[in-house]
Chains A and B, each alone.
Chain A
Amino acid sequence: MTEWIDVGLVTDIPVQGSRVVAAPAGDIAVFRTADGSVFALRDRCPHKGGPLSEGMVHGHAVTCPLHNWVISLETGQAQGADHGCAGKIPVRIEGERVLLAASALQRYAA
């Protein structure tokens, strides 16, 4: 039975933008895309640890602000010629609320 943690309203996140959820094991970046989808990744680019929450969101992807790696919001995988994965955190939307999977948060704590 997955436990879900409420982190706030969908509308707290700017469209084509992101917010940070501070977590004990490291920050989580929560993204909202132009089509209204919400995704969450660990806020660390697999390349050199850049904060993905500061990147530009386009389609279902984000470009890291440090060296322009493009990371898929759906899988956390780097796109194109780059390889690496920013851990993906399952997201559930209940009404207007954003919930993150607690188990995934713990996994990164390990």
Chain B
Amino acid sequence: MPRKLVVIGNGMAAGRVLDELLARDPDAYSVTVFGAEPRVNYNRIMLSPVLAGEKAYEDILIHDDAWYAANRIDLRRGVAVTHIDREAKQVTGADGSVTSYDALLLATGSSPFVLPVPGADLPGVVSFRDLDDVDAMLAAARRGGRAVVIGGGLLGLEAAAGLAARGMDVTVVHLMPTLMERQLDPSAGYLLQRAMEQRGVTIRSRANTHAILGDTHVTGVRLDDGEELPADLVVMAIGIRPNAALARAAGLEVNRGVLVGDDMRTSDPDIFSVGECVEHGGVCYGLVAPLYDMAKVAAARLDGDATAMFTGTLTATRLKVTGVDLFSAGDFGEGDDRQEVVLRDVARGVYKRVVLKEDRVVGVVLYGDTADGSWFFDLLRRGTDVSQMRDTLIHGQSFATGAPQDPAAAVAALPDDAEICGCNGVCKGKIVQTIAGEGLSSLAEVRAHTKASASCGACTGLVEQLMSLTLGAAFAPATVEPMCGCTDLGHDDVRRLIRAGELKSIPAVMQELGWKTSGGCARCRPALNYYLLCDWPEEYADDARSRYVNERVHANIQKDGTYSVVPRMWGGLTNPRELRAIADVAERYDIPAVKVTGGQRIDLLGVRKEDLPAVWADLNRAGMVSGHAYAKGLRTVKTCVGSDWCRFGTQDSTGLGVRIEKFMWGSWTPAKVKMGVSGCPRNCAEATCKDVGVICVDSGFEIHFAGAAGLHIRGTQLLTRTATEDECIEVIAALTQLYREQGRYLERMYKWADRTGVDVIRAAVVDDADRRRSLFERFVISQRKAQVDPWAERVEGHDAHEFTPMANLKLLEAAE
């Protein structure tokens, strides 16, 4: 009969204890976990990349539902514990349940500190601690406007950089004279301030918040000197406070945090505590490395190992703001017994400072070039005597130790007990042994087995070098697939950087992102053209030279160099006048083939290029426009006859299809988009293998999406149901806009949905009404410039050079 372990809290520290414990003995305990947050365990230190748009929620999950199930852990999600009865060894949940324990683990974490000023509880004031905060910040950023971040520490700056990258006008209000004063000296603080200002963030140092202004929602912040900063969003990032109330109520010894000894036991030997709620040796920790050290000791003790000790952890800090390299560790206050070595290169934005005491490193600050961070941190932790290399110490490992400059060789030269992953305390020897012993060959496997590089990811490069050293040529680093040979960046990076850097032309993108070719290639140029068109719909001028020929001449090139022309037939409806015009055109221009397409319209095949404008003019005269049969955009909306004619029809599916097509035509998307509307579940319009399909039912409209019937056959998934046509169209437009903003060029909707997750998409376009509305509005804005019939433009003479030869030497010869 296994012993019963109850865990209160489901954050990173608790999750790590369980990982460690399961690795030691999966059957030692039957485990119940109470998590007050409705979510499963995720990597909180990656909230900044989520905010900046570099990662999504799924990327930062540590344990998903399947993990709890596989390990037979009873997860009480969204249930807080309200009482601990130490006599009876039982805990009471907020749901009234009573659970008994043999061992109890308290991992209640911490809460953000909230400034005790008027207005601190107004809507629009958030902290930066969990995904709800990030969601609130993202929602605010989508509306644009101004944000004030209170606190210029690590979290505050990451929040500020993320919001600025999302397009908000951001001011950081910081009490102290320089930023991150606990980790940085004033010189590095200045360099950091300059880098933040270059990202468009305004820094107000020596500024104290007096009040937060607003009646029903925050409108601004008033400083002590009376100045008022307007704000639509206020983020408080001024520190954390251990959550110790439950422990205190249970009569455990509590100071600032829950007091624990080196064995991670509280004053009750059956109750352990780890994480940010803990106070050990007078210190409360807020970084991940010490939490993981605590978890390792707690797991060992729970497993009966009486020797495991937590003796405190030296912590190193890295700022997670893309493009700002900053590392600090240890103590760098000034003192008579201390000396410092400084290297300053303001032009290059490099600053390094090493603080020495009795020939040993006690503190290090690196700014701009942090490659040697691990090496300095290693010297610091070991207390290595550096007197022999003091002259060259500041230049880093390769110079100071005479080791070669090659980074791979530098990694090879590291001793086995050199720490590689600071978050998880994994050293080189452990990684190398595990790679060899377990036969690992991918970064994901190394992360799974050793935890190295599994948290903040800053050491990923080092881990990859170790893999390369151990495996030789067998190791192929799993990097992001670049867009094409012109760049090392993947589609998502390019897109994010286009938005963050407000890059608004193809040359600007290539210049700023360091394209390796002078003019791109046929793979990247159309992608960039699409991204710019989608992101800056009102400003960007389409670049015809970066369009594939079909989209440039608005017809489909055929194998013999002739073209096919497909006029739009809204929802598949046509009439005698249109059919007569099509017949006339086919005869007048000797069009060899006329075919009915799968999308309920008519294709004219074999049109000579020079005839295209005249063909279009004739079709235009009969009221027809381009069907965009060639476009990475909305193609067709296929319909059945619906309630007008069909004895089974529940709604006017034809009418809805026409409405959708008239609203959405002309929009450019990452890949083609085909839609269908069926009037009843018999589904005669085959809506359930379309990118977006609507099935009408008596009570309204089922919206399905992410189907395909081409290279791959895929049934759709149900997105949601709506009662009215208007709601149905709003959801479809919001879905399409989300796909436009997130899909990679040429990535069909079903592939995007696979990659992103149907639940995540549903949360954005169904559950979050604000988000749906703003997506819908962005779609409408984009349509204003997109809904122009390209045929009519060309009939008017647009791009006339496309359709006539530059010179005709045949005529010349005939004349001679």
Contacts and interface: CB of A to CB of B under 8 A. Distances in A.
Interface of A: 5, 7-8, 12-17, 19-24, 27, 30, 33-35, 48-51, 54-59, 63, 65-66, 68, 70, 105
B133 to A, nearest CB: 44
A24 B813 contact: yes
Contact of A13 (B526, B550, B553, B806): B806
B517 A56 contact: no
The 4 closest A-B pairs by CB, nearest first: A63-B522, A19-B806, A7-B807, A16-B545
Contacts of B346: none
Contacts of A59: 517-519, 521
B806 A58 contact: no
A65 B806 contact: no
Interface in B362-409: none
B806 A35 contact: no
Contact of A21 (B525, B526, B809): B809
Given A56-B545, A56-B546, A66-B557, A22 B522 contact: no
Interface in B784-816: 801, 805-810, 812-813
B336 to A, nearest CB: 63
Interface string B534-555: 0000000000111011101100
B809 A56 contact: no
Nearest to B546: A56
Contacts of A7: 806-807, 809
A31 to B, nearest CB: 11
A17 B545 contact: yes
A7 B809 CA distance: 8
B4 to A, nearest CB: 63
Contacts of B806: 7-8, 12-13, 19-21, 30
A55 B523 CA distance: 12
B561 A56 contact: no
B522 A68 contact: yes
Contacts of B519: 16, 33-34, 57-59
Contact of A19 (B525, B548, B801): B801
Contacts of A51: 557, 561
B242 to A, nearest CB: 59
Contact of A22 (B518, B525, B544, B810): B810
B801 A24 contact: no
Which of B517, B525, B561, B812 has the most chain A CB atoms inside 10 A of its CB?
B561
Contacts of B526: 56
Interface residues of B, number: 28
Given A16-B545, A20-B805, 14 more contacts: A5-B812, A8-B807, A14-B545, A30-B806, A54-B553, A54-B557, A54-B561, A56-B521, A56-B546, A58-B517, A58-B521, A58-B525, A65-B549, A66-B557
B712 interface: no
Given A17-B545, A19-B805, A50 B813 contact: no
B559 interface: yes
Which of A8, A14, A16 has the most chain B CB atoms inside 10 A of its CB?
A16
A103 to B, nearest CB: 14
Which of B519, B550, B813 has the most chain A CB atoms inside 10 A of its CB?
B519
B627 interface: no
B155 to A, nearest CB: 44
Interface of B: 517-522, 525-526, 544-546, 548-550, 552-553, 557, 559, 561, 801, 805-810, 812-813
Contacts of B517: 58-59
Contacts of A27: 805
A58 B143 CA distance: 38
A105 B813 CA distance: 12
23 contacts: A7-B806, A8-B806, A14-B544, A14-B545, A16-B519, A19-B801, A21-B805, A21-B808, A21-B809, A22-B808, A22-B809, A33-B519, A35-B518, A54-B549, A54-B552, A54-B561, A56-B545, A56-B546, A56-B549, A58-B517, A59-B517, A63-B521, A66-B557
A65 B552 CA distance: 11
A5 B807 CA distance: 10
Contacts of B552: 54
Contacts of B521: 56, 58-59, 63, 70
Given A56-B545, A58-B517, A21 B807 contact: yes
A15 B507 CA distance: 14
A62 B525 CA distance: 13
Contact of B809 (A15, A17, A35, A105): A105
A98 to B, nearest CB: 8
A23 B801 CA distance: 17
A22 B807 contact: yes
B810 A24 contact: yes
A76 B103 CA distance: 77
Contacts of A33: 519
A18 to B, nearest CB: 9
A24 B561 contact: no
Contacts of B801: 12, 14, 19
Contacts of A63: 521-522
Contacts of B553: 54
Nearest to B524: A58
Contact of B548 (A13, A16, A65): A65
Nearest to A20: B805
Contact of A70 (B522, B546, B550): B522
Which of A19, A21, A22, A66 has the most chain B CB atoms inside 10 A of its CB?
A22
Contacts of A54: 549, 552-553, 557, 561
B810 A23 contact: yes
A19 B545 CA distance: 12
A27 B804 CA distance: 12
B809 A5 contact: yes
A55 B520 contact: no
Nearest to A65: B549
A56 B550 CA distance: 11
A52 B517 CA distance: 21
A81 B526 CA distance: 23
A24 B525 CA distance: 34
A28 to B, nearest CB: 8
Contacts of A14: 544-545, 801
B809 A23 contact: yes
Which of A8, A19, A20, A63 has the most chain B CB atoms inside 10 A of its CB?
A20
Contacts of B544: 14, 17
B611 to A, nearest CB: 15
Contacts of B550: 65
Contacts of A5: 809, 812
Contacts of B807: 7-8, 21-22
Given A34-B519, A65-B549, A65-B557, A56 B525 contact: yes
Contacts of B805: 19-22, 27
A70 B486 CA distance: 14
Nearest to B812: A5
B528 to A, nearest CB: 12
Given A14-B545, A22-B805, A24-B809, A48 B522 contact: no
Nearest to A29: B806
A65 B806 CA distance: 20
Contacts of A65: 548-550, 557
Nearest to B552: A54
A55 B809 contact: no
B809 A50 contact: no
Contact of B545 (A15, A20, A70): A15
A6 B520 CA distance: 31
A14 B801 CA distance: 9
A108 to B, nearest CB: 12
Contacts of A48: 559
A74 to B, nearest CB: 14
Contacts of A56: 521-522, 525-526, 545-546, 548-549
A92 to B, nearest CB: 15
Contacts of B520: 58
A50 B550 CA distance: 13
A69 to B, nearest CB: 10
